[in-house]
Amino acid sequence: MNEYPVMIRLKKKKITVIGGGKVAERKINSLLQAEGNVVVVSPVVTKKIQTWVENNQLTWFKKEFEPADVTSSFLVIAATNKRKINQQVAEAVNEFQLLNLVDDPEKSNFIVPSSFQQGNLTIAVSTSGSSPGLAKKIKNDLAQQFDDTYAEYLEFLRACRDEVKQRVENPEKRRQVLKELLRDEFFELTRTGQINERNKRFLSLLDDEKGRGNHSKGLA
């Protein structure tokens, strides 16, 4: 299958999960982190899902699945342990809805890759359903390589990007400064906790491009 990798913003989007077991729980956990408007349809749910219900983090309809349950959903996940019900969900959605069947990736129009986050850094690995185990192994290997230092480093790069946009008008010079920030020295200074020195070098880099000016309070 030829797939197109994307990062979808689900904030406030209606997402319906059919099923209330452990598989559904794992899916729901990620959906809540993405701030989706999650609706669960299942006669029973796990204790964790029940806790989310009690904390008003999602809506639970304690019932068997009916086609009308997914009529207005942006994204639908069929995560029951009954293949027949999952197929009924597939038949109920329309061609404009996003559908994932946990037991049948070929009939899904999207699959959920194995992924992890470090702050604003997200790394996802997919084998197109061929071997979820291998995708998980690769993800775990990458998670060790890209530790929490990258969360701090990426936050630094974001702040620098905002500063560069404000202080450097020439597009080519902007690109040059941002490229320079990817030098190993800036990451190493972050990793070793030398934040003041790192920020000082960034400001010096800006001055080299634009001449002396007022330094940013956020990075000084």
pLDDT digits (tens, 9 = 90+) for 128-145: 878 889 999 999 999 999
Taking residues 167-182, report their average pLDDT. Answer: 92
Residue whose entry in the numeric block shows the structure tokens 């291998």: 134
Q: How many CB atoms lie within 10 A of CB 194?
A: 14
pLDDT digits (tens, 9 = 90+) for 7-56: 999 999 999 999 999 999 999 999 999 999 999 999 999 999 999 999 99
- Distance, CA of 183 to CA of 179 (rounded, Å): 8
Query: Strands, E, within the chain: which ranges?
Result: 14-18, 37-41, 59-61, 75-78, 98-101, 114-118, 121-125
Q: What confidence score (pLDDT) does residue 209 get?
A: 66
DSSP letter (8 states) at residue 220? -
Task: Answer whether residue 212 shows pLDDT above 50.
Answer: no
pTM of model > 0.75: yes
pLDDT digits (tens, 9 = 90+) for 75-122: 999 999 999 999 999 999 999 999 999 999 889 999 889 999 999 999
